[in-house]
Amino acid sequence: MRLLVLTKHGPLGAASRLRVYQYLPHLRANGIEVTVSQLFNDHYLLRLYSGQRVDWLGVGRDYARRLRQIVRSRQFDLVWLEYELLPFLPAWGERLLRVPYVVHYDDAIFHNYDQSGKAIIRRLMGGKIDVVMRRAARVMAGNDYLADRARRAGARRVEVMPTVIDIDRYPPRSGFSDDRFIVGWIGSKTTTRYVRMAQPALTELARDGLSRLMLVGADMIDLPGIAIERRRWSEDTETADVMSFDVGIMPLTDDPWSRGKCGYKLIQYMACGIPVIASPVGVNSQIVEPGVNGFLANTDAEWLNAFTQLRDDPALRAKMGAAGRARVEAHYTLQITAPRVLDWLREAANRPA
């Protein structure tokens, strides 16, 4: 089977790395001939994260290259597409494909169009992703919110495919101490703003002199009264960074975009045996079992209560951390999902375009 994989980004892009690239060794080991092409390379992301202006000439070249790939797609048995072929253009490319394609989503990117602040985008592009989903041989959705959208769009086959970790890369933490308390968060510059939702509770917690906040991969953020340690994100060091946390947090606003998120940072924390605190938004409420592997917190008082319980009881941290690790091992590993993805791709390749 010849598979053409069309990602949005290279391995530096979290969605591309976790939803596609980590599956490729398993596919190749099982006889799939894989060709990968990204729309935007890592240089594009580095410019974006550093606040530099978009290289529109380079973007034009990227789009032209993608158009050539659409034409050459006839050489393959199946296309695996991330999100869409050409962002902010109608679904012309998907209509032109003459081989079956599968598409995956780990964010509610359809809201970039149907909830855009620009009326012309809502009018011309509001239903674009519905078209992409409807024409796909299979839609792989990261959670129920995304899967429900695909079903309403008329998608023929929809599978819930959570974002998962390679469990072999995440050894569980062995123990907790009571001489310091590190609240940890890992993410990207674009999601740093969510940390502010826990700011009142973090400010009160910091009065003990033992607690501090560790941010991995975050943008610059000013949180007066809170001792902050910042670390740059690296795939080589992210596991070690998470293992230094005493609790991992995932605050979120309750809005349509957040409901499309897949809770990956919670899965990372739990894989390392770290208890979690999260906003009860979207898939967070499915991943977190309150009182078992962590807490769901909606108000400042609930956040502070969760923090203080975990700070004051290292044994509770260890117990919840172990429960979280067991939940990840049972539901959120590459070792579980990779064989399923292989089967879905093989079945899709046998469907007519």
Residues in a beta bridge with 228: 213
Q: Comparing C-alpha atoms, which of 34, 338, 300, 318 is closest to residue 172? A: 318
The dihedral formed by the CA atoms of 264, 302, 306 and 202, expressed in degrees to the nearest 10: 80
Q: Comparing C-alpha atoms, which of 16, 37, 46 is closest to residue 233? A: 46
Predicted confidence (pLDDT) per residue in 209-264, tens digit? 899 999 999 888 989 999 999 999 999 999 999 999 999 999 999 999 999 999 99
Predicted confidence (pLDDT) per residue in 136-181, tens digit? 999 999 999 999 999 999 999 999 999 999 999 999 988 888 789 9
Task: Give all domains of the chain, ordered by start, each with its CATH number.
Answer: 2-164+333-349 (3.40.50.2000), 167-331 (3.40.50.2000)
The pLDDT > 70 percentage for the chain reads 97
Neighbouring residues of 112: CB distance < 8 A, sequence distance ≥ 6: 87, 88
Average pLDDT over residues 296-300: 97
Residues in a beta bridge with 211: 181
Asked if residue 173 lies in contact with residue 272, where contact means CB atoms within 8 angstroms, the answer is yes
Average pLDDT over the chain, rounded to an integer: 94
Say whether pLDDT at 59 is over 90: no
3-class SS of residue 116: coil
CB count in 10 Å sphere of residue 194: 18
Predicted confidence (pLDDT) per residue in 21-51, tens digit? 999 999 999 999 999 999 997 776 666 666 6
Say whether pLDDT at 351 is over 80: no
The pLDDT > 90 percentage for the chain reads 84
Q: State both tokens at 291.
A: 């009182």
Residues belonging to the chain: 353
Say whether pLDDT at 353 is over 70: no
Asked if residue 57 lies in contact with residue 25, where contact means CB atoms within 8 angstroms, the answer is no
Q: How many CA atoms within 13 Å lie on the side-chain side of 217?
A: 21
pTM for the whole structure: 0.92
Predicted confidence (pLDDT) per residue in 182-214, tens digit? 999 999 988 999 999 999 999 999 999 899 999
pLDDT at 38: 94
Say whether pLDDT at 122 is over 80: yes
- Give Cα 33 distance to the centre of its chain: 26
